[in-house]
Amino acid sequence: MLSGSQWKYLARESVAGFRRRTLTTGVTILIMSSSLMVLAVLTMTTLNLGNLLDTARQGIDMRVFLMDNLPAQQLAELQPRLLRIPGVADVQFISRDMALDEFRQSLGDDASLLALLDANPLPASYRLELTRGSRTLQAVHGIRDEIAGWEEVSDILYNQEWIDVLERWTYRFQMASLVVGLVVFLAAIFVISNTVKLTIASSSAVIRVQKLVGATNTFIRTPFICEGMMQGLLAGTLAMGLLATAMHVMKDELTGLIVFTPAQMAGFVGLCVVLGLIGSWAAMGKYLGLRSEG
Amino acid sequence: MPHNSTSSPDRPERDGQGPLEERVIISLNHVNLSYPDQVALKDVNFQVANGEFLCLTGPSGAGKSSILRLISMDAFPTRGQVRVRGMLASSMNRRRIPQLRREIGFVFQDFRLLEDRSVYDNVAFAQLVIGVPGRQIAENVTRVLNKVGLWEKRHRKPCQLSGGEQQRVAVARAMVNSPKILLADEPTGNLDPVTAQEIIDLLFRFNDMGTCVIFSTHDHGIVKTFGRRVIVLENGAIVSDKLRDDQVDRTARLDDGMYRAESAGPRPQQVEVPSHA
């Protein structure tokens, strides 16, 4: 248990590093906050891409086109068969006439062109609504493969290409974000660790005396740990402050996008404090030479 | 031949009348110490009783500092046993080393003061880091600075003091926690004869108050002024462990010409030290 005078001393020493090396500490905090900004923006972009992919998946529209002139009995049997396929939530029959109506509506002013046709060229179809868990490329392919062999089916269509592309790029971006995030994470630890090492180096005389007179290693370490955590706190706060300002300025452009909530920002600052803790702890073992003693 | 006697005519009677075993505070038993590139100590045996004043002497590299490092558990024996205040180095939990060091004071040739702090803060620092309450720190620092005669200079920085005064600050810092043992590693090495004598007198006074003092020096001139136990080391081994008899001229002083250097200054000002705390 620390005495009151020890607490005062530790508090004083924790900020002493800032006072002694204002420039170094300032630069450290700037570098860290820039890195953390990058990390935050990457995180938000990844979240938004994920959200976009989810929205796109909601819109996956699978159409099963049928052969012409199928008997009514066969048509009626198809519906329960389709519903039995895992991943299919609901089916809707679209007759040839309904398909033509849809087409006419989609043509808008050019619908008069349809009058040139002798007959309705559109086939009847089933529109498949998929369960939430089946709106992935892999599940859609599974359903397609199962239906493709049926004799009643002439073709299967879904908005495959752009979902494929979106999914592929989202995955790539997430992987890249993960790598960049990891690099930024390690870089932040490295920067804090080096700054704390400077403090330790300049405090070697004090540390030597502390060890001589019987200070515990916890007592010796505490100011350096606190310094690292404060650097993390300041860098995180600066990064989130800049991000919040940028979000406020660009709020119209960001409408509909996922942005950090105040609670998430506070969590991010907390993460930065942990980074500071890890960075300063990493500096300890090697430079304090305290490994053998408690 | 190593000599393991710990009886001393100079030992204060108040340290107890019991058997020697009960009064042993430091014990080195067949201790060997090797560094990666050299053998520092070879089969070293001796015991030190509570309140004793022991002088370790020998040429540079003889192993004096290694013994002090073993006692402070800054190093551990390659073979043999080191026991300090009942704590065996080989089986001691490393986390207890800070506790042990609170019972040991250190004085070094190079003073090792904190240059950016005042005399007062240097001494108070030793109390602060071990959690002594603020008011108690003030009392203890005042007491010890008065003992070493530096109360009037308590606001000065080390660079504003002479070498002797800096060493007195170091002694004050070492003694402010009332340690049972004081390890002085060549404490007079950087001092002129007059100042060296002041420091030796100071250490004797703390010893008279019951602190066990282990004083290392390579200077035989200093040893001649001691009417105490002297261990001579050479090449890491004890070659002599003797009590200097009472015929030693205790009035002889380094500044009377027993020291190699010429004494140029005036007689050192005697520091007023209360007989007992």
Q: Do B115 and A205 touch (CB under 8 A)?
A: yes
A vs B, Cβ pairs < 8 A, gives 72
- Considering only CB atoms, A209 lies closest to which of B112, B131, B134, namely B112
Report the pLDDT averaged over residues B174-178.
Answer: 92
What pLDDT score does B70 carry? 94
Collect all residues of chain B within an 8 Å Cβ-Cβ radius of residue A294. 93-98
Q: What is residue B19's three-state secondary structure?
A: coil
What is the DSSP secondary structure assignment for residue B256, as one 8-state letter? G
Domains for chain B: give ranges and CATH numbers: 1-13+25-103+179-277 (3.40.50.300), 114-178 (no CATH)
Helix axes A4-20, B119-128, angle to 10 degrees: 120
Strands (E), A12-78: 62-66
Q: Do B177 and A208 touch (CB under 8 A)?
A: no
What mean pLDDT is reported for chain A?
A: 83
Supply φ then ψ for residue B214, to 5 degrees. Answer: -115, 120
Q: Convert the pLDDT of each residue in B98-134 to its tens digit.
A: 889 999 999 998 889 988 899 999 999 999 888 888 8
The rounded percent of chain B whose pLDDT value lies above 90 is 48
The chain A residues in contact with chain B (CB within 8 A) are 1-6, 9, 205-206, 208-217, 219, 292-294
Q: Do B129 and A292 touch (CB under 8 A)?
A: no
Ramachandran category for residue B107: left, alpha or beta (phi over 0 → left; psi -120 to 50 → alpha): beta
The neighbour count for residue A108, using CB atoms within 10 Å, is: 7
Q: Do B131 and A208 touch (CB under 8 A)?
A: no
User: B99 to chain A nearest CA, in Å?
Assistant: 6
In the predicted structure, residue A279 carries a pLDDT above the cut 60 = yes
Taking alpha carbons only, the member of B87, B98, B99, B5 closest to residue B52 is B5
Domains for chain A: give ranges and CATH numbers: 4-55+166-288 (no CATH), 60-158 (3.30.70.3040)
Q: Do B98 and A212 touch (CB under 8 A)?
A: no
Collect all residues of chain A within an 8 Å Cβ-Cβ radius of residue B85. none
**Is B111:B168 a contact under the CB 8 Å cutoff?**
no
Q: Convert the pLDDT of each residue in B30-65 to its tens digit.
A: 999 999 888 999 999 999 999 999 999 999 889 999
Tell me the C-alpha distance between A279 and A149, whole Å: 60
Tell me the C-alpha distance between A262 and A253, whole Å: 19
Nearest CA in chain B to A206: B114
**Is A196:A279 a contact under the CB 8 Å cutoff?**
yes
- Considering only CB atoms, B126 lies closest to which of A2, A9, A213, namely A213
- Considering only CB atoms, A214 lies closest to which of B94, B102, B137, namely B102
Match 């030796």 to its residue by tokens. Answer: B200
Q: Greater confidence, A129 or B220? A: A129
Collect all residues of chain A within an 8 Å Cβ-Cβ radius of residue B104. 214
Q: Convert the pLDDT of each residue in A169-200 to its tens digit.
A: 778 888 888 898 888 888 888 888 888 888 78
- Considering only CB atoms, A212 lies closest to which of B101, B115, B132, namely B101
Tell me the C-alpha distance between A292 and B21, whole Å: 31
Which of A20-24, B98-102, B213-217, B245-249 bottoms out in mean pLDDT, i.e. has the lowest? Answer: B245-249
The chain B residues in contact with chain A (CB within 8 A) are 93-104, 106, 112, 114-115, 125-126, 128-134, 137, 173, 177
User: A179 to chain B nearest CA, in Å?
Assistant: 40
User: CA-CA distances (angstroms) from residue A157 to A61, A78, A206?
Assistant: 8, 17, 75
Burial class (CB in 10 A: 0-12, 13-18, 19+), A203: buried
Tell me the C-alpha distance between B59 and B161, whole Å: 30
Best mutation site among A1, A5, A206 for testing chain B: the one with the most B CBs within 10 Å?
Answer: A5
Q: B277: which strand partners?
A: none
The one-letter amino acid code at A163 reads: I
User: B138 to chain A nearest CA, in Å?
Assistant: 11
Q: Convert the pLDDT of each residue in A37-91 to its tens digit.
A: 888 888 888 888 888 877 777 777 788 999 888 888 888 888 899 999 998 889 9
**Is B236:B66 a contact under the CB 8 Å cutoff?**
yes
Nearest CA in chain A to B107: A212
Nearest CA in chain B to A294: B95
**Is B54:B238 a contact under the CB 8 Å cutoff?**
no
Side-chain-facing half-sphere of A168: CA atoms under 13 Å: 6
Taking alpha carbons only, the member of A44, A14, A46, A34 closest to residue A188 is A34
What pLDDT score does B245 carry? 60
